[in-house]
Structure 1
Amino acid sequence: MILVIGSINQDIVAKVNHLPKVGETILASSGEYFFGGKGANQAIACAKLGAECAFIGRVGADKFGQAYLNNFNQHNIDCQGVIVSKSSGTGLAFITVDEQAHNNIVVMQNANKEITINDVLAYEKLIDQCEFILLQLEIPLEAVKQIISLAYQKGKKIILNPAPCQKLNPELLSKLYVLTPNETEAYQIVNKALNTDTTNINNLVAVGQQILTQGVKNLIITIGSYGVLHFYQNEVYHYKGYLVNAEDTTGAGDTFNGALLYYLSQGYSFPEAITNAQAAAALCTLKLGAQTAMPTAQEVSEFVNKVGVSERMLIKR
């Protein structure tokens, strides 16, 4: 079984012709409500691919929270660990998407910020039953640190998607099986000023190697359409991205993380898991919304068979 611990949000998505500048008010061409939250998105991605998945998190005692519990049940996700908060509403995310599928996101944590280690200890049996645990940083960092320490003591394989990025110390990083920042988060982890071109591979390799010295076993940096960098020991591999006509990139990162976890849990090698996760993320961008666009394992397989395995190149040893 896979366990995901993290955030649950109701996404409110506005389609616009361009992202607003500072002080600018613009009109949306359309708007929709979607289920979201990095934690929940990643759990749904796992479940749609076919994983046996459980979730620990919080919702509010409101219509969004009840709808989310129904959503988890419809995807056969064990949601006994989802606590209904009496003092906060369900998390909200306000997402603006432009005609080039670029987006910006503002999140109100609400019930998500109430998550503590006690929530997890109340459902410790879920940790005992799983092999892999996936976390993000849309819940309190102190809770994440304590959860990672508990899971590490139990010998679990921990994947951390450090989004939104916060200060991470070497003690925490050394307990991770996989760390999955995007290019911006990778720079932030090492407190390095953002290069004007964060997708520059050579710059990212240097940043990644600096992160690796802090004890992470596997570092996977996602670079959007430019692909993925995988750091393991002294080797760095670049996987080229799949080029598709993206409609909405909102859920691509979460789909990648959920799919990576799913394929690793099924015994796939890192090259196989990364390629399939890239394919899943590419497919997710073809529709509006995060969870509604996430593919099944059959759709991923058909896509890879049609367009081929993403090119993998050893760029440093």
Structure 2
Amino acid sequence: MSKQILVLGSINVDHVLRVDCFPKPGQTITGSSYNIMAGGKGANQAVACARLGGNTHMLASIGQDDLGREIVQQLSEEGVGTSAITEVDGTGTGVALIFVNAKGENMIGIASGANNCLTEAFVDQNDQLVKAVDYLLLQQEVPDSVNLQAIDIANKHNTAVVLNPAPGRDLPDSFLSLIDFITPNQTEAEILTGIKVTDLESATIAAAIMHDKGINDLVITMGHNGVYVSSMDTGYPQGILIPGFPVKPIDTTAAGDTFNGALLVALAEGKPLVDAAFFANASAGLSVMRSGSQSSIPYRFEVEQFIQCDREIAEVNCSLHTS
């Protein structure tokens, strides 16, 4: 049986407008489609964990509105444990306004709503859940004080703490030293280290800085270039760059969330870090070929089929080049 994962994070109602190109200041543009759907980095990652086979729980808050309650119901139907999701009086569920252009790129604005009302006291009320799980997965769409409270409980009870430092912002070394595992993208890695990450060499330099801050394991997601993996325990502190899957992106909105959920599931199943990152890479690659946030997150069987197909294509190409 795989280990248990607790996702502490945001729940948002996503308003998604597809456009040919992003508007310039003062410009009004017409979109090709508009949808309202479930989102939030925390909820997206919880759904990814559950769909990919993880034993998943979520600790979060929603507002006093039907849309928030519908999202909690959807999470439950996905197999996510929702007993630690609270409804906050006098506020609404978080909202994200998302533009997606013809290249699959996105621009996002967030109104935190109930996400910003999550409290240290509520974390304390659910400390038994934090103690019971094997992995605590965090992002940065809830108050830092809430993350810190959960980290403190986790560190005292040998729960591994994984931080997806998104949305990206500078973090003090005192905070980073409490993290076991971090999963920045290139932009977030630059914010944390001051190193512009573009290739293997720059990723290695950035990784060394994060290791020096006390973080044992890390991956840096690098889009179509793949993912850089580094660990102080497994014999490759210099890092390994795992190639990305060649896909044509339609919408990258939940790619990072899918990656993080898949990574945690693979680690919870006991896979080595490199294998876990490969599985997460495939999951994220599949997600960008679909539209939406949670609607783009694949199921386990789809990822396994995608990986098998990619391997078969690689074998065919290899035989053509060697014959």
Partners of 1:267 and 1:308 lie apart in 2 by: 22
Partners of 2:203 and 2:29 lie apart in 1 by: 35
Aligned length: 306
Partners of 2:165 and 2:119 lie apart in 1 by: 18
State, as a whole percentage, how many aligned pairs show the same letter.
34
> Is 1:75–2:78 an aligned residue pair?
yes
Q: 2:168 aligns with which of 150, 154, 165?
A: 165
Per the alignment, residue 318 of structure 2 pairs with none
Q: Calculate the TM-score normalised by the size of structure 1.
A: 0.93
Partners of 1:142 and 1:22 lie apart in 2 by: 35
Q: Could you say what secondary structure the match of 1:308 adopts?
A: helix
Partners of 1:200 and 1:76 lie apart in 2 by: 38
User: Cα distance, 1:244 vs. partner?
Assistant: 0.8
> Is 1:148–2:185 an aligned residue pair?
no
Per the alignment, residue 203 of structure 1 pairs with 202
Q: Decide which moves more: 254-263 or 65-74.
A: 65-74
Contact 2:204 2:238 in 1 (8 A): no
Partners of 2:145 and 2:126 lie apart in 1 by: 18
> Is 1:110–2:141 an aligned residue pair?
no
Residue 49 of structure 2 aligns with an amino acid whose one-letter code is C
Partners of 2:179 and 2:230 lie apart in 1 by: 13
Q: Calculate the TM-score normalised by the size of structure 2.
A: 0.91
Per the alignment, residue 12 of structure 2 pairs with 9
User: Cα distance, 1:132 vs. partner?
Assistant: 0.6
Residue 183 of structure 2 aligns with an amino acid whose one-letter code is T
* CA RMSD across the alignment: 1.5
Per the alignment, residue 180 of structure 2 pairs with 177
Contact 2:11 2:61 in 1 (8 A): yes
Deviations 1:217-263 (A, max 9, x none): 11111011111111222321101111112111101000000000011
> Is 1:39–2:38 an aligned residue pair?
no
Partners of 2:219 and 2:117 lie apart in 1 by: 29
User: Cα distance, 1:68 vs. partner?
Assistant: 1.0
Q: Residues 222-237 of structure 1 correspond to what in structure 2 (within 5 A)?
A: 222-233=221-232, 234-237=237-240
Partners of 2:311 and 2:125 lie apart in 1 by: 45
Per the alignment, residue 132 of structure 2 pairs with 129
User: Cα distance, 1:203 vs. partner?
Assistant: 2.4
Per the alignment, residue 95 of structure 1 pairs with 98
Contact 1:55 1:79 in 2 (8 A): yes
Structure 2 gaps of 5+ residues are 315-323
Per the alignment, residue 20 of structure 1 pairs with 23
User: Cα distance, 1:276 vs. partner?
Assistant: 0.5
Per the alignment, residue 320 of structure 2 pairs with none
Q: Could you say what secondary structure the match of 2:62 adopts?
A: strand
Residue 55 of structure 2 aligns with an amino acid whose one-letter code is E
